[in-house]
Amino acid sequence: MAISTGSAGVGAVKADINVTPMIDVMLVLLIIFMIVTPLIAAGFKATLPKGKNLDPRPEGDNEVVLGIDEAGRYFLNGRPLPEGTLGDQLRSIFSARTEDKILYFKADNHLKYAKVQEAVETARRSGVRVMAAITEPNKTGLFQADKDKKEKK
């Protein structure tokens, strides 16, 4: 007969779907949601201001991030702070901190400056020396280059 060796085994129809890639994707999605959910649950909602001349500030492990959301509520490292406790919290963090006195500052762009000033005042009395105002780049480099080209034409 024409049936050669081996071909019978390979030609057998596989009836079940290969679910391994699907499970991979599901697991990654699960991990993403596990990371993102606490941030959403904290209720921090703010649009960051935009700027052009910025310094890269990669996120590190041991840093202090102060957020002020649209409603003017304070968030320290992602957790909402009760009214009036910001100074004490910052003082206890920065008095024990030896590496740097940088406070990362993430505030909504429509906030009144009075609110920001209040935070600055509290921070400087609590031992903060530098505030890094987290800002979103106005236009990303690639798109900016495209735009410049279009404008030249």
Distances (CA, A) of 111 to 39, 118, 132: 21, 12, 17
Q: Quick check: 104 binds another protein (CB under 8 A)?
A: yes
53 vs 153, beta carbon nearer another protein: 53
Give me the least distance between CB of 75 and another protein, in Å please.
15
Asked if residue 117 binds another protein (CB under 8 A), the reply is yes
Among 61, 128, 42, 68, CA closest to 92 = 128
Q: Are 134 and 96 a contacting pair, CB within 8 Å?
A: no
Size of the site for another protein (CB under 8 A): 53
Judged by CB under 8 A, the residue of 1, 2, 11, 143 near another protein is 11
Q: Per-residue string for binding with another protein, 28-67, x by CB under 8 A?
A: x---x----------------xxxxxxxxxxx--------
- CA atoms 140, 62, 84, 73: torsion sign: positive
Cβ neighbors of 130 (< 8 A, separation 6 or more) are 100, 101, 102, 103
129 lies in the site for another protein, by CB under 8 A = yes
By CB under 8 A, residue 84 contacts another protein? no
